[in-house]
Amino acid sequence: MPEEPITFEFIRKIQREEMSEPKLSKIPEDFYQKAKNYLEQKKNIAEKKEDKVTEREIKNVERLLEDIFNRRETKMFDLALITVRTDIPPQNLIEEEKEFFESAVNMLRTQRERVLNLLFKKTKEITGLEKIEFKEDVEEFVGTDLKKYGPFKKGDVANIPKDNVKLLIKMKKAKKI
């Protein structure tokens, strides 16, 4: 299927699709570049002829292109949030939008992990640790909460994840306080 040339009508069609669809509409991969070329051609014609109709068309095309961009940008933020929560990638991103989209996903993912880890790790630290005294020296180890503990000397007291406490007591290396 041959690709439709960029015209005022084609740009308006894309703008209507972006307005009516909640997801990103399918646009040509090189849409922005072709739209830029189209505008440059129209501006050259307007300069040569001093054509008021063409100047008005240029302003209308610029308005439509900005509206298309704004709608797609908003949809990409919404889709980035969905992607962070579900790992479902969006459809119909073009190459020029992918870097922006990935940056938004990374920013949202970082924020989400930072805040949720803060909330849930505090809960684990309060409810998931037990205080023990070491009966002998114990080298550094990784706890069930994936944090490093130790090394400990005989007589040291520490808060350790419950599952690790059970193991240390079973091995007679520590006792509960």
pLDDT at 124: 43
Closest-CA residue to 93 (of 13, 5, 32, 16):
32
72 vs 32: CA distance, rounded Å: 12
CATH number at residue 147: 3.40.5.50
Asked whether residue 118 falls in the same domain as residue 142, the answer is no
Q: Could you tell me if 140 and 111 lie in one domain? A: no
Neighbours of 7 (CB within 10 A): 11
pLDDT, residue 1, reads 41
Which burial class, exposed, middle or buried, applies to 45 when counting CB atoms under 10 A from its CB (0-12, 13-18, 19+)? Answer: middle
Question: Which residue range is the domain that position 134 belongs to?
Answer: 128-176
Amino acid, single-letter form, for residue 78:
D
Mean pLDDT by 10 residues, the chain (177 residues): 80 96 94 94 84 86 97 95 90 93 91 84 61 93 83 92 89 92
Residue 1 lies in a domain: no
